[in-house]
Amino acid sequence: MKKKLVILVSLLFGIMVIGNIQITAQESIKLDLPQAIEMALTNNLEFQKAGYQFENAEIDVKRNEAGNLLTQSNLLERQNELLLIQEKEQYQQKKEDLIIQVVDEYLQLKLAQKDLQVKEKESELEKNTLEDIKVQAKAGYKVELDVLEQSNIYYDALFSFESAKLDYQKLLGNFRVTLGLNSKSQFELVTINTPDFKEIKLDEALQKGRQNSVSLQMNNLEIDLTSLELEKSKVSDIPEIDLNKLENNLAITKLDYQIAQQNLDYQIQSQWQNYVQTKNDITLSQNSLDQINKHKAIISNQVKAGLASKDAELSATIGVLEAEYRIVSSVRNYYNALLNLQSIMGNLNKGDIQ
Protein backbone atom coordinates (compact mmCIF):
# COMPACT_ATOMS: atom_id res chain seq x y z
CA MET A 1 0.00 0.00 0.00
CA LYS A 2 2.81 2.36 0.94
CA LYS A 3 4.58 1.46 -2.29
CA LYS A 4 1.48 2.36 -4.32
CA LEU A 5 1.17 5.64 -2.43
CA VAL A 6 4.80 6.50 -3.19
CA ILE A 7 4.25 5.69 -6.87
CA LEU A 8 1.08 7.80 -6.94
CA VAL A 9 2.82 10.76 -5.32
CA SER A 10 5.72 10.40 -7.75
CA LEU A 11 3.34 10.36 -10.71
CA LEU A 12 1.48 13.42 -9.44
CA PHE A 13 4.76 15.24 -8.90
CA GLY A 14 5.89 14.28 -12.40
CA ILE A 15 2.64 15.53 -13.91
CA MET A 16 2.99 18.82 -12.02
CA VAL A 17 6.56 19.26 -13.23
CA ILE A 18 5.62 18.48 -16.84
CA GLY A 19 2.61 20.78 -16.54
CA ASN A 20 4.79 23.59 -15.26
CA ILE A 21 7.24 23.06 -18.11
CA GLN A 22 4.40 23.24 -20.63
CA ILE A 23 2.96 26.37 -19.05
CA THR A 24 6.38 27.97 -19.04
CA ALA A 25 6.85 27.01 -22.66
CA GLN A 26 3.47 28.48 -23.53
CA GLU A 27 4.12 31.71 -21.66
CA SER A 28 7.66 32.21 -22.98
CA ILE A 29 7.43 33.19 -26.65
CA LYS A 30 10.28 34.29 -28.88
CA LEU A 31 8.57 36.73 -31.19
CA ASP A 32 9.76 38.29 -34.43
CA LEU A 33 7.84 40.84 -36.49
CA PRO A 34 6.15 38.43 -38.97
CA GLN A 35 5.03 36.18 -36.09
CA ALA A 36 3.64 39.16 -34.20
CA ILE A 37 1.62 40.22 -37.24
CA GLU A 38 0.11 36.75 -37.75
CA MET A 39 -0.69 36.53 -34.05
CA ALA A 40 -2.55 39.84 -34.13
CA LEU A 41 -4.48 38.95 -37.30
CA THR A 42 -5.59 35.74 -35.59
CA ASN A 43 -6.25 36.92 -32.04
CA ASN A 44 -7.00 40.67 -32.09
CA LEU A 45 -10.57 41.09 -30.86
CA GLU A 46 -11.34 44.27 -32.80
CA PHE A 47 -10.20 42.64 -36.03
CA GLN A 48 -12.28 39.53 -35.31
CA LYS A 49 -15.28 41.82 -34.84
CA ALA A 50 -14.51 43.52 -38.16
CA GLY A 51 -14.47 40.10 -39.83
CA TYR A 52 -17.98 39.28 -38.64
CA GLN A 53 -19.21 42.73 -39.66
CA PHE A 54 -17.82 42.18 -43.15
CA GLU A 55 -19.50 38.76 -43.39
CA ASN A 56 -22.82 40.37 -42.43
CA ALA A 57 -22.30 43.01 -45.10
CA GLU A 58 -21.72 40.27 -47.70
CA ILE A 59 -24.94 38.58 -46.57
CA ASP A 60 -26.83 41.86 -47.02
CA VAL A 61 -25.37 42.30 -50.50
CA LYS A 62 -26.40 38.76 -51.52
CA ARG A 63 -29.90 39.42 -50.18
CA ASN A 64 -30.08 42.61 -52.22
CA GLU A 65 -28.85 40.76 -55.31
CA ALA A 66 -31.58 38.16 -54.88
CA GLY A 67 -34.20 40.88 -54.57
CA ASN A 68 -32.89 42.63 -57.67
CA LEU A 69 -33.42 39.50 -59.80
CA LEU A 70 -37.08 40.45 -59.94
CA THR A 71 -36.64 44.12 -60.82
CA GLN A 72 -33.52 43.76 -63.04
CA SER A 73 -32.60 47.35 -62.12
CA ASN A 74 -29.20 48.54 -63.36
CA LEU A 75 -29.34 51.31 -60.78
CA LEU A 76 -29.86 48.88 -57.90
CA GLU A 77 -27.13 46.63 -59.29
CA ARG A 78 -24.64 49.52 -59.29
CA GLN A 79 -25.70 50.56 -55.78
CA ASN A 80 -25.19 47.01 -54.57
CA GLU A 81 -21.77 46.86 -56.22
CA LEU A 82 -20.80 50.15 -54.58
CA LEU A 83 -21.91 48.89 -51.16
CA LEU A 84 -19.80 45.73 -51.49
CA ILE A 85 -16.71 47.71 -52.55
CA GLN A 86 -17.13 50.05 -49.59
CA GLU A 87 -17.41 47.18 -47.11
CA LYS A 88 -14.40 45.36 -48.60
CA GLU A 89 -12.36 48.54 -48.42
CA GLN A 90 -13.28 49.13 -44.77
CA TYR A 91 -12.28 45.58 -43.84
CA GLN A 92 -9.04 45.69 -45.82
CA GLN A 93 -8.15 49.06 -44.31
CA LYS A 94 -8.67 47.71 -40.80
CA LYS A 95 -6.39 44.79 -41.64
CA GLU A 96 -3.67 47.06 -42.98
CA ASP A 97 -4.03 49.46 -40.05
CA LEU A 98 -3.58 46.53 -37.67
CA ILE A 99 -0.43 45.35 -39.47
CA ILE A 100 1.05 48.86 -39.34
CA GLN A 101 0.07 49.16 -35.67
CA VAL A 102 1.74 45.84 -34.76
CA VAL A 103 5.00 46.80 -36.48
CA ASP A 104 5.02 50.22 -34.87
CA GLU A 105 4.24 48.95 -31.36
CA TYR A 106 6.84 46.18 -31.70
CA LEU A 107 9.53 48.71 -32.60
CA GLN A 108 8.32 51.09 -29.89
CA LEU A 109 8.99 48.29 -27.41
CA LYS A 110 12.46 47.76 -28.86
CA LEU A 111 13.12 51.48 -28.46
CA ALA A 112 11.87 51.37 -24.88
CA GLN A 113 14.19 48.44 -24.14
CA LYS A 114 17.15 50.34 -25.57
CA ASP A 115 16.13 53.45 -23.63
CA LEU A 116 16.11 51.40 -20.43
CA GLN A 117 19.64 50.20 -21.14
CA VAL A 118 20.81 53.78 -21.74
CA LYS A 119 19.19 55.13 -18.59
CA GLU A 120 20.49 52.26 -16.47
CA LYS A 121 24.06 52.93 -17.62
CA GLU A 122 23.60 56.68 -17.13
CA SER A 123 22.43 56.20 -13.55
CA GLU A 124 25.39 53.88 -12.97
CA LEU A 125 27.79 56.51 -14.34
CA GLU A 126 26.26 59.28 -12.23
CA LYS A 127 26.48 57.07 -9.14
CA ASN A 128 30.18 56.45 -9.83
CA THR A 129 30.72 60.18 -10.25
CA LEU A 130 28.94 60.83 -6.95
CA GLU A 131 31.14 58.32 -5.13
CA ASP A 132 34.23 59.92 -6.66
CA ILE A 133 33.14 63.41 -5.56
CA LYS A 134 32.47 62.14 -2.04
CA VAL A 135 36.03 60.78 -1.89
CA GLN A 136 37.39 64.10 -3.15
CA ALA A 137 35.28 65.98 -0.61
CA LYS A 138 36.75 63.93 2.22
CA ALA A 139 40.22 64.74 0.90
CA GLY A 140 39.37 68.43 0.81
CA TYR A 141 39.33 68.81 -2.98
CA LYS A 142 35.54 69.20 -3.16
CA VAL A 143 32.95 70.84 -0.88
CA GLU A 144 29.59 69.55 0.34
CA LEU A 145 27.81 71.67 -2.26
CA ASP A 146 29.54 69.65 -4.99
CA VAL A 147 28.32 66.46 -3.33
CA LEU A 148 24.78 67.85 -3.11
CA GLU A 149 24.73 68.91 -6.76
CA GLN A 150 25.97 65.53 -7.96
CA SER A 151 23.49 63.78 -5.65
CA ASN A 152 20.68 65.66 -7.40
CA ILE A 153 22.06 64.68 -10.81
CA TYR A 154 22.30 61.04 -9.74
CA TYR A 155 18.78 60.90 -8.30
CA ASP A 156 17.40 62.59 -11.41
CA ALA A 157 19.06 59.87 -13.51
CA LEU A 158 17.70 57.19 -11.18
CA PHE A 159 14.20 58.69 -11.35
CA SER A 160 14.43 58.79 -15.15
CA PHE A 161 15.40 55.11 -15.15
CA GLU A 162 12.46 54.14 -12.93
CA SER A 163 10.06 56.21 -15.05
CA ALA A 164 11.35 54.44 -18.16
CA LYS A 165 10.50 51.10 -16.52
CA LEU A 166 6.89 52.22 -16.02
CA ASP A 167 6.66 53.50 -19.59
CA TYR A 168 7.95 50.17 -20.85
CA GLN A 169 5.32 48.25 -18.88
CA LYS A 170 2.56 50.44 -20.34
CA LEU A 171 3.81 49.81 -23.88
CA LEU A 172 4.05 46.09 -23.11
CA GLY A 173 0.45 46.01 -21.88
CA ASN A 174 -0.81 47.80 -24.99
CA PHE A 175 1.12 45.42 -27.23
CA ARG A 176 -0.38 42.38 -25.50
CA VAL A 177 -3.87 43.76 -26.18
CA THR A 178 -2.99 44.38 -29.83
CA LEU A 179 -1.72 40.80 -30.19
CA GLY A 180 -4.77 39.41 -28.37
CA LEU A 181 -2.66 37.91 -25.57
CA ASN A 182 -3.53 37.74 -21.88
CA SER A 183 -1.74 39.90 -19.34
CA LYS A 184 0.44 37.01 -18.11
CA SER A 185 1.84 36.07 -21.51
CA GLN A 186 5.59 36.51 -21.73
CA PHE A 187 7.56 36.96 -24.92
CA GLU A 188 11.03 37.94 -26.03
CA LEU A 189 11.52 40.37 -28.90
CA VAL A 190 14.23 39.36 -31.35
CA THR A 191 17.10 41.56 -32.53
CA ILE A 192 16.09 44.08 -35.18
CA ASN A 193 18.35 44.04 -38.22
CA THR A 194 18.68 46.71 -40.87
CA PRO A 195 16.02 45.81 -43.47
CA ASP A 196 16.73 45.10 -47.12
CA PHE A 197 15.66 48.29 -48.82
CA LYS A 198 12.80 47.84 -51.28
CA GLU A 199 13.25 49.89 -54.44
CA ILE A 200 10.06 51.79 -55.31
CA LYS A 201 10.01 54.27 -58.19
CA LEU A 202 7.67 57.25 -57.99
CA ASP A 203 6.04 56.65 -61.38
CA GLU A 204 5.43 53.00 -60.41
CA ALA A 205 3.89 54.10 -57.11
CA LEU A 206 1.58 56.57 -58.86
CA GLN A 207 0.51 54.01 -61.46
CA LYS A 208 -0.26 51.28 -58.94
CA GLY A 209 -1.94 53.73 -56.59
CA ARG A 210 -4.38 54.86 -59.28
CA GLN A 211 -4.91 51.32 -60.51
CA ASN A 212 -5.68 49.88 -57.06
CA SER A 213 -7.44 52.86 -55.49
CA VAL A 214 -10.80 51.78 -54.12
CA SER A 215 -11.67 55.44 -53.67
CA LEU A 216 -11.32 56.03 -57.42
CA GLN A 217 -13.31 52.86 -58.13
CA MET A 218 -16.12 54.15 -55.94
CA ASN A 219 -15.96 57.53 -57.66
CA ASN A 220 -16.32 55.74 -61.01
CA LEU A 221 -19.35 53.88 -59.73
CA GLU A 222 -20.82 57.15 -58.48
CA ILE A 223 -20.42 58.50 -62.02
CA ASP A 224 -22.20 55.41 -63.39
CA LEU A 225 -25.01 55.76 -60.86
CA THR A 226 -25.48 59.46 -61.62
CA SER A 227 -25.41 58.75 -65.38
CA LEU A 228 -28.04 56.02 -65.01
CA GLU A 229 -30.22 58.31 -62.94
CA LEU A 230 -29.88 61.04 -65.58
CA GLU A 231 -30.70 58.69 -68.47
CA LYS A 232 -33.69 57.35 -66.57
CA SER A 233 -34.94 60.88 -65.94
CA LYS A 234 -34.57 61.88 -69.60
CA VAL A 235 -37.17 59.33 -70.65
CA SER A 236 -39.45 60.37 -67.80
CA ASP A 237 -41.70 63.37 -67.69
CA ILE A 238 -39.78 65.59 -65.27
CA PRO A 239 -39.34 69.38 -65.28
CA GLU A 240 -36.39 70.82 -67.22
CA ILE A 241 -35.03 72.47 -64.07
CA ASP A 242 -34.77 69.08 -62.33
CA LEU A 243 -33.04 67.65 -65.39
CA ASN A 244 -30.51 70.49 -65.27
CA LYS A 245 -29.79 69.67 -61.64
CA LEU A 246 -29.12 66.02 -62.51
CA GLU A 247 -26.75 67.13 -65.28
CA ASN A 248 -24.95 69.30 -62.76
CA ASN A 249 -24.75 66.35 -60.38
CA LEU A 250 -23.07 64.29 -63.11
CA ALA A 251 -20.54 67.07 -63.70
CA ILE A 252 -19.91 67.22 -59.94
CA THR A 253 -19.27 63.48 -59.67
CA LYS A 254 -16.79 63.67 -62.56
CA LEU A 255 -15.00 66.54 -60.82
CA ASP A 256 -15.02 64.51 -57.59
CA TYR A 257 -13.14 61.79 -59.46
CA GLN A 258 -10.52 64.25 -60.70
CA ILE A 259 -10.14 65.77 -57.23
CA ALA A 260 -9.80 62.32 -55.65
CA GLN A 261 -7.08 61.38 -58.16
CA GLN A 262 -5.30 64.67 -57.51
CA ASN A 263 -5.37 64.07 -53.75
CA LEU A 264 -4.21 60.48 -54.21
CA ASP A 265 -1.24 61.57 -56.32
CA TYR A 266 -0.25 64.14 -53.69
CA GLN A 267 -0.46 61.56 -50.88
CA ILE A 268 1.66 59.08 -52.83
CA GLN A 269 4.30 61.69 -53.71
CA SER A 270 4.54 62.90 -50.09
CA GLN A 271 4.74 59.38 -48.66
CA TRP A 272 7.27 58.33 -51.30
CA GLN A 273 9.52 61.24 -50.33
CA ASN A 274 9.22 60.21 -46.67
CA TYR A 275 10.17 56.67 -47.63
CA VAL A 276 13.28 57.76 -49.54
CA GLN A 277 14.35 59.94 -46.60
CA THR A 278 13.99 57.10 -44.10
CA LYS A 279 16.30 54.92 -46.21
CA ASN A 280 18.92 57.68 -46.07
CA ASP A 281 18.42 58.06 -42.31
CA ILE A 282 19.12 54.36 -41.72
CA THR A 283 22.34 54.57 -43.72
CA LEU A 284 23.51 57.63 -41.77
CA SER A 285 22.57 56.03 -38.43
CA GLN A 286 24.45 52.85 -39.32
CA ASN A 287 27.56 54.83 -40.31
CA SER A 288 27.36 56.73 -37.02
CA LEU A 289 27.06 53.47 -35.05
CA ASP A 290 30.10 52.02 -36.83
CA GLN A 291 32.19 55.07 -35.89
CA ILE A 292 31.02 55.01 -32.27
CA ASN A 293 31.78 51.28 -32.00
CA LYS A 294 35.32 51.96 -33.23
CA HIS A 295 35.69 54.70 -30.60
CA LYS A 296 34.37 52.33 -27.92
CA ALA A 297 36.93 49.69 -28.95
CA ILE A 298 39.75 52.25 -28.63
CA ILE A 299 38.57 53.27 -25.14
CA SER A 300 38.32 49.61 -24.07
CA ASN A 301 41.90 48.98 -25.18
CA GLN A 302 43.03 52.09 -23.29
CA VAL A 303 41.30 50.81 -20.15
CA LYS A 304 43.13 47.49 -20.46
CA ALA A 305 46.40 49.40 -20.81
CA GLY A 306 45.60 51.57 -17.80
CA LEU A 307 45.35 54.73 -19.94
CA ALA A 308 41.62 55.35 -19.40
CA SER A 309 39.16 54.90 -16.55
CA LYS A 310 36.28 52.46 -16.26
CA ASP A 311 33.92 55.43 -16.28
CA ALA A 312 35.34 56.51 -19.64
CA GLU A 313 34.51 53.04 -20.96
CA LEU A 314 31.05 53.25 -19.40
CA SER A 315 30.50 56.60 -21.08
CA ALA A 316 31.56 55.10 -24.41
CA THR A 317 29.12 52.21 -23.84
CA ILE A 318 26.33 54.73 -23.34
CA GLY A 319 27.31 56.31 -26.66
CA VAL A 320 26.98 52.93 -28.39
CA LEU A 321 23.57 52.29 -26.82
CA GLU A 322 22.34 55.72 -27.90
CA ALA A 323 23.54 55.05 -31.45
CA GLU A 324 21.73 51.69 -31.42
CA TYR A 325 18.62 53.52 -30.22
CA ARG A 326 18.85 55.81 -33.25
CA ILE A 327 19.16 52.77 -35.54
CA VAL A 328 15.96 51.22 -34.16
CA SER A 329 14.23 54.60 -34.43
CA SER A 330 15.31 54.86 -38.09
CA VAL A 331 14.05 51.33 -38.79
CA ARG A 332 10.74 52.20 -37.16
CA ASN A 333 10.39 55.29 -39.37
CA TYR A 334 11.37 53.22 -42.42
CA TYR A 335 8.68 50.59 -41.87
CA ASN A 336 6.10 53.26 -41.08
CA ALA A 337 6.86 55.05 -44.35
CA LEU A 338 7.08 51.83 -46.41
CA LEU A 339 3.85 50.27 -45.14
CA ASN A 340 1.86 53.50 -45.39
CA LEU A 341 3.15 54.00 -48.94
CA GLN A 342 2.22 50.43 -49.88
CA SER A 343 -1.19 50.88 -48.27
CA ILE A 344 -1.88 53.96 -50.39
CA MET A 345 -0.63 52.06 -53.46
CA GLY A 346 -3.06 49.24 -52.61
CA ASN A 347 -0.42 46.52 -52.28
CA LEU A 348 0.75 46.32 -48.66
CA ASN A 349 3.05 43.30 -48.57
CA LYS A 350 3.66 41.47 -45.27
CA GLY A 351 6.59 39.71 -46.94
CA ASP A 352 8.58 42.97 -46.88
CA ILE A 353 8.52 42.99 -43.07
CA GLN A 354 11.60 41.20 -41.73
The predicted model gives 69-81 an average pLDDT of: 70
* Paired residues of 188 in beta bridges: 30
How far is CA 244 from its chain centroid?
Answer: 49
Please tell me the number of Cα atoms within 13 Å of 61 on its side-chain side.
18
The predicted model gives 45-68 an average pLDDT of: 87
pLDDT tens, position by position, 23-34: 334 556 889 999
Q: Please report the pLDDT score of residue 73 as a whole number.
A: 67
pLDDT tens, position by position, 174-215: 999 999 999 888 999 999 888 888 899 999 999 999 999 999
Q: For residue 2, what pLDDT band results from cuts at 50, 70 and 90?
A: very low
- Out of 107-116, 119-128, 183-192, 297-306, least confident range: 183-192
Q: Which residues contact 220 (CB under 8 A, 6 or more apart)?
A: 257
**What are the domain boundaries of the chain?**
28-125+169-191, 198-354
Q: Please report the pLDDT score of residue 83 as a whole number.
A: 84
> How far is residue 282's CA from residue 333's CA, in Å, rounded to a whole number?
9
The predicted model gives 56-65 an average pLDDT of: 85
> How far is residue 190's CA from residue 213's CA, in Å, rounded to a whole number?
35
Q: For residue 12, what pLDDT band results from cuts at 50, 70 and 90?
A: very low
Span 198-354: which CATH code? 1.20.1600.10
Tell me if 285 sits within 8 A of 326, measured CB to CB.
yes
- What 293-302 contacts at long range (C-beta under 8 Å, 24+ apart), as own/partner pairs, is 293/320, 293/323, 295/319, 296/320
pLDDT of residue 283 exceeding 80, the answer is: yes
**pTM, full prediction:** 0.84
Tell me if 65 sits within 8 A of 293, measured CB to CB.
no
Q: Please report the pLDDT score of residue 1 as a whole number.
A: 39
Q: Please give the sequence-ordered ranges of beta strands (E in DSSP) within the chain, or none if there are none.
A: 28-31, 186-189
The predicted model gives 117-124 an average pLDDT of: 97
Burial class (CB in 10 A: 0-12, 13-18, 19+), 300: middle
The predicted model gives 235-263 an average pLDDT of: 92
pLDDT tens, position by position, 264-276: 999 999 999 999 9
